[in-house]
Every structure is written in C-alpha cells, then in structure tokens.
Amino acid sequence: MPLPKAELHLHIEGTLEPELAFELAARNGVELPYATTDALREAYRFEDLQSFLNLYYELMAVLRTERDFEDLANAYLARAAAQGVRHAEIFFDPQAHIARGVGMGTVVEGLSRALDRSEENHGVSTHLILCFLRDESAESALATLDAAKPYLDRIIGVGLDSAEVGHPPVKFREVYETAAALGLRRVAHAGEEGPPEYITEALDILGVERVDHGLRCMESPDLVARLARDRVPLTLCPLSNVRLRTVDTLADHPLPAMLEAGLLCTVNSDDPAYFGGYADDNFTAVREALGLSEERLRELARNSFLASFLDDDEEKRAG
C-alpha cells in the first residue's frame, strides 16, 4: 500500500497522457503533429525546462471544452488516488488557454466539475492554484487575476511557473500584492533553473509560503539555514529534475542532503505524464536510488500534509 500523502506540486496540464491527448484531438478535430501515441512519447526527451515547455504548450491545443478539462482532472485524480494521494493542490495555467481562445470560465468550471466530486469519487480532497506564466508580462498576469475574480471561491492561491531564468520574482511584485489583498495564498517556482537569489526574492518580495522546487538553495548555506529555521516547505519533484536535467541522475539528487540540513521537503510529480511517474512513483524512485529509510519516507509523507493548505482538522482526516 502506498503511503497516504498530499501532492502539492502538480500542473494539471502536465497530466495529459498521450492516449487522452489523441482522444481529445479526435473529439475536437485538432490535428496533432504526431502519427501515434508512441511517436508522441518519442518526443519526451528533454534538454532543459524550455524544451519541455515547448511540447507542454503545444499539446494543450487539444483542451478546448469544459468536458476536456473535467476528463483531464478525473484521469489525474484516479491515478493519484491509486498512488496514495489523499489531498492535491493543483496548479493550472490559464494564460496558456486564454491565448488560444479558451476562457477562464471554461477552464475553472471544467476542472471544478471533477474537483467538486473528487472526495466522493476518488477519496481525494483538492485545492486549485492559479499560476502566472513568468515569461509573460506582469500586466498580463494582472489581467489574468482580474479575469479570475468571478471564480475566487474555487481558487485558494496563486503560483508562478514557466521559463524561470531571466524572469525573477520581483517582476510580479504588484501582482502578488494584489493577490494577497484578495486573500489568496502565495507560492512560486524558484530555484529550479534560476539562482538562489530568486528563492530569496520569492520569500521577501512575493511573500510566498512555500517554494516550488527550491533545489538551488543548496548553493547558499545562508539560505538553507533560513529555510530550515523558518520551516519553509519546498515542493521537490525528483523525476522532473532528472528529465529536465536539473540533476544528472536520481542518485545525484540532493534530497538526502536537504533532509539532513533540516529542510521541510516534500516529494511531488510536477508533470507526471511527461516525466515518467506520479506521486508514489517519485517516492519509490527516491527510495531505490537514494536508499532513503522507511522513517525518512514517512517524514516526507507527513511533511506533505504539514506543508499543505489544509487546516489542522482537515489534515488529520486526510492523513
């Protein structure tokens, strides 16, 4: 039995498996530049974050209707439940859909159809986190937040994703101030490919409560000490790091050193359809490659609930 866990770093668009991509393409009359699911899978060899993002955005063309987003989320929730996930805080990228003429309402209403019935259907509680694309402008992010206003009862917080280097957190200062004023929780990707300074900025300027990835904090002993002292959760994604070549091999992953340093680490799947594994596949992979003890694995699972946006009572029920 997989350990009960919460998943805190999961892009719903990154759960689009090749089979569902082809099914939705046929349903919507969208032509994919791949002949078969195998040919598509062949394209899953990434050099870095950008080479992945190119395919990730390209395949989104098949997501057009509320039902598509509902089917996507249901497929993820079924897989997550089978991997011991009891609670999922799910990222979505509205700008990538709005740019294709698919409105905020279609995305949020479609996802909500699956999420609203997730506890009943899958035994998984959920929250939704709206992510801004950091390689788009701050004005675009503000307009996106504005477009989300009718749906804020469904959205617990905001995040920041897409191409990191050259797009420091400070670019989104005003957007995050506005989000905070709206009562939204705040997280951001930082220190995946970007330098440790981006992590510090995310904390000091954006006021984030969790750091997504945060891997490169290990280059700054002062930052590690701060993150450990303040118990700032990091949402690590080991299989993603290998596929995007942030680490050479899983055996080189700094997770054991991060735990030794007292960091509040969690293990997550990021974009599981692209990176070769869902939540428990990541747990199994680090256990095997890094020789983590059962006690360490239980600590990681416990951390996932501690670092979640569940309140204490909900946490106990889920974990």
Q: Is 136 a catalytic residue?
A: no
Smaller CB distance to ligand HPA: residue 52 or 283?
52
CA angle 228, 234, 240 (to 5 degrees): 140
Contacts of 29 (CB under 8 A, 6+ apart): none
Which residue among the candidates 13, 70, 89, 192 is catalytic per the annotation?
Answer: 192
Side chain identity at residue 267, one-letter code: V
> Which of the choices Zn ion, ligand HPA, none does residue 49 contact, using the CB cut-off of 5 to 8 A by kind?
ligand HPA
Smaller CB distance to ligand HPA: residue 191 or 319?
191
As measured in angstroms, the least distance from the Cβ of 13 to ligand HPA is 7
Cβ proximity of 90 and 73 under 8 Å: yes
As measured in angstroms, the least distance from the Cβ of 300 to Zn ion is 18
Check the annotation: does 9 bind a ligand: yes
Check the annotation: does 189 bind a ligand: yes
Check the annotation: does 270 bind a ligand: yes
> Which of the choices Zn ion, ligand HPA, none does residue 14 contact, using the CB cut-off of 5 to 8 A by kind?
ligand HPA
Which residues here bind ligand HPA, judged by CB under 6 A?
Answer: 11, 14, 49, 56, 161-162, 189, 192, 240, 270-271
Which string of x and - marks every residue 263-302 that binds Zn ion (by CB under 5 A)? -------x--------------------------------
Residues contacting Zn ion: total by CB under 5 A: 1
Smaller CB distance to ligand HPA: residue 14 or 169?
14
Element housing 86 (H / E): strand 85-92
Report the alpha-carbon distance of residue 202 to residue 119 in Å, rounded: 32
Specify whether the backbone of 272 is left (phi greater than 0), alpha (psi in -120 to 50) or beta. alpha
By the 10 Å C-beta count (0-12 exposed, 13-18 middle, 19+ buried), 50 is classed as middle
Cβ proximity of 282 and 239 under 8 Å: yes
Catalytic center residues: 192
Provide the annotated binding site for Zn(2+).
9, 11, 189, 270
